[in-house]
Amino acid sequence: MTASEEKFTRQTLLDVQPLTPSLFTLRTTRDAGFRFRAGQFARLGVYKASGSIAWRAYSMVSAPHDEFLEFFSIVVPGGEFTSELSQLREGDQLLVDRQAFGFLTLDRFVDGRDLWLLATGTGLAPFLSILQDFEVWERFDSIKLVYSVREARELAYRELIAGLAQRDYLADYAHKLQFIPLVTREQVPGCLGGRITTLIENGELERAAGLALSPEHSRVMLCGNPQMIEDTRAVLKARGMNLALTRKPGQVAVENYW
């Protein structure tokens, strides 16, 4: 089988950055033919000692217009994939499926005024891609990025988020974004405390945002651990907000990230 016939390409790691003992980012070269929409994910492959390939899905942090691919990962103790992945260094090889996947994209919504991006842990990744793409800034009047972690040191990509306002192509739009960090296991100045569902139910999240969550105006994207998504969907459904499906417009789009 020739390289062009394989279902994946071989990319080179450009950079690996540990954030905490269990979180790291990695950046690779990008095949010229690889296309994706902001919010989608790629299947990444690493060779195991046996010679077989372990695959796992990762959302792109990078924007569709970037010349590289960037990913955000947690190290799962004993995990066959992340333990291998976390050992890779600059210059090593990473396999990337030729096709992008996933439906956590803006075309899930046919309308809406306010966009809420609710993430836990590495579920932040697709929202960073969406925020670096111009479409979201044109479509919505306000964007609320809500990022929940256990400890303050896990609040990743703060520089990237803060730096969006300095990008030339966003200069006239950056006022639309509000970043709302949540830290659940310690009290941190400038951060809300408590789980996303609790802060929706008690109204604290909306007070911090200065904006109501409503079926009429709000469109919500959820990405993170399955329990958060299940619980948050139930809270939103109680408010009349339902999944956006291909043939049935709704207010909520989800991606399990586990």
Tens place of pLDDT per residue across the chain (258 aa) = 555 568 999 999 999 999 999 999 999 999 999 999 999 999 999 988 888 999 999 999 999 999 999 999 998 888 878 878 888 999 999 999 999 999 999 999 999 999 999 999 999 999 999 999 999 999 999 999 999 999 999 999 999 999 999 999 998 999 999 999 999 999 999 999 999 999 999 999 999 999 999 999 999 999 999 999 999 999 999 999 999 998 899 999 998 765
Q: Which amino acid is at 31?
A: D
pLDDT at 5: 63
Architecture of domain 106-256: 3-Layer(aba) Sandwich (3.40)
Distance of alpha carbon 124 from alpha carbon 143, whole angstroms: 14
Query: Which CATH architecture best describes the domain 3-97?
Result: Beta Barrel (2.40)
Q: From CA 36, how far away is CA 39, in angstroms rounded?
A: 8
Are 126 and 40 in contact by the 8 Å Cβ rule? The answer is yes
Biggest distance spanned by C-alpha atoms of the chain:
58
Q: Where are the domains of the chain?
A: 3-97, 106-256
SS3 per-residue string spanning the chain: CCHHHCCEEEEEEEEEEEEECCEEEEEEECCCCCCCCCCCEEEEEEECCCCCEEEEEEECCCCCCCCEEEEEEECCCCCCCHHHHCCCCCCCEEEEECCCECCCCHHHCCCCCEEEEEEEHHHHHHHHHHHCCCHHHHHCCEEEEEEEECCHHHCCCHHHHHHHHHCHHHCCCHHHEEEEEEECCCCCCCCECCCHHHHHHCCHHHHHHCCCCCCCCEEEEEEECHHHHHHHHHHHHCCCCCECECCECCCEEEEECC
Token representation of residue 192 = 């809300």
Bridge partners (DSSP) of residue 180 are 146
Q: What's the token pair of residue 193?
A: 């405390």
Rounded Cα distance, 180 and 146, in Å: 5
- What is the C-alpha separation between 249 and 241, in angstroms, rounded? 11
How distant, in Å, are the alpha carbons of 38, 91, 97, 98, 116 from that of 10?
22, 12, 9, 10, 35
Residue type, 81: F
